[in-house]
Structure 1
Amino acid sequence: MSGTEVAVHVNRGAAEALEATSGTLETSASFSVLLYGHETPAHVHCRLDGDLERIASLGESNYYVEPETVTRVPVTVVADAIDRPVDGRLEVLTGYGSESVSIAVTVEPGPPGVDVDESLAEPTRSEPEPTAFDRAVDRCSAVTAVEPATLVVLALGAVAVGVAGVTTATIGGPVATAGLGIVGGGVLVALFLLLQ
C-alpha cells in the first residue's frame, strides 16, 4: 500500500453528512480512503465508478464508522496493466444513499516492470587466480607482520652491515674482517631479541 491517502469526514456537524478533504486524487499505485468518524456512528458504502473499476478494487464496500475513530478503506490499484491514464470516481455514500461525496481519481501508468531472471544472482566474473608473485607477497606479509620499529632497526642493521662490508673490502686484513663479523653478529642478536 502506498502512502497516498484521501480523507472523508463522516457526520461532522450533522447526521448523515460527508465531507472529503480533496475532490481529486492522482496516483500510480494503491491508496487508502480514511473515514473519520465524528458525532454519531454511520454505515458508509464505497464504490468505484467509470474506467477505474477495470484497474482498481475495494476489499469491502460497506463499513461501519464509529465516532472518534478512523476507518481505513484500502483501494488496490494495478497500474502496471495500463499504458495511459485512467479516470474514474470513488464514491462514498451514507444514509442509504441520501448523502454522497465523489472523488475524481486519475491513475497514471506505473513505472515499467523489470524482468529479473536467475542469471542476475550469479556473479558475472569470478576472481582471478592469484599469481605466484601474489602468493609470495601474501606469504611475506604474513611472515613480516612485525611492528614498524622492528623494521626500522632491521633497516639500520642492514646499513651497518653494508658499511662494515665496504670497509672490510677497502681496508682488508684480519681486523677489518673481525669488525665485519662483530657488526653482523650484533645485528643478528638485535634482530633475535626484537622478534621474541
Structure 2
Amino acid sequence: MDFNRNRIFAKDFDGRFVLANAAMAEASGLDVEQIVGRTESEFTPDEKLVRQFHATDRQVIESGKELVIPEQRVRNAKGETRWVSTVKRPILALDGKSTVLLGVSVDIIERKAAEDELRGMAATLEKRVYERTLELRESNAALEKARLESDAASRAMSAFWANMSHEIRTPINAIIGLTHLMTRETPCSATGSARSTMLPSTCCRSLTTFSTSRRSRPAS
C-alpha cells in the first residue's frame, strides 16, 4: 500500500485516521505513525476544507453509500495547490461492528493543467475564427460597395451618352433639313450641288459613327 502513489486512508466516525499510506502522510507533512489517531483539523490549516472533509465522511458512513468526488482543490503540507479526485466508501471496521470510511484520492493536477491548456487553445481558436469572420464580412461589404459604385457609374455613363446623342442629333437633323431645302429652292453650280448632296450623307455617317462609338464604349 505504501508503494501506491495515490492517497489511501481510512477514518472512523469522529474523523480520526485509523489507516494511511505513505502518499497520504507525505501530503499531510507527517509520517504514517504520526497521522494515525489524529484528525484533519490537527494538521490541516484550512478550516473550511476540514469541514468539507468531515461532512462528506459522515455522509458516507451514515448513508452506507459510496461517494465519488470528481475533483477537489486541496493544499499539501508544502502549501502547493493540488487537484484530486476522491472515492469514499463505507466498510466494516476490524471489530466487525462499527463502520469506517475508506478513501482513495488520485492526484489529477496534470489532467487539470491539460484541460486548462485545451480550454485556452479553444478560446484562442474561437477568437481567431471570430476575427477572421469579421474580416471577411468587412471585405464582402467593401466589395459590395465597390460593385454598387461601379453600377452607378455605368448607369451615369449610359445616361451621359444618351443625352449627348440627343444633343448632337438635334442640330445635325436641322442642318440636314436646311440642306434639302437649299438644294430644292436655290439653283447652284454642279460643284455646289455635289457639295450640298454630300453634306447630308456626311452628317448621317457622323451620327452612325457616334452611335457605334457609344455602343462599343466599355462600361466603367
TM-score range, shorter chain: under 0.3
Structure (1/2) with the larger helix percentage: 2
Q: Which has the larger radius of gyration?
A: 2
Task: Report which of the two has the higher share of strand.
Answer: 1
Point out which structure has higher relative CO (alpha carbons under 8 A, 6+ apart): 1
With normalisation by structure 1, the TM-score equals: 0.26
Could you tell me the TM-score, scaled by structure 2's length? 0.24
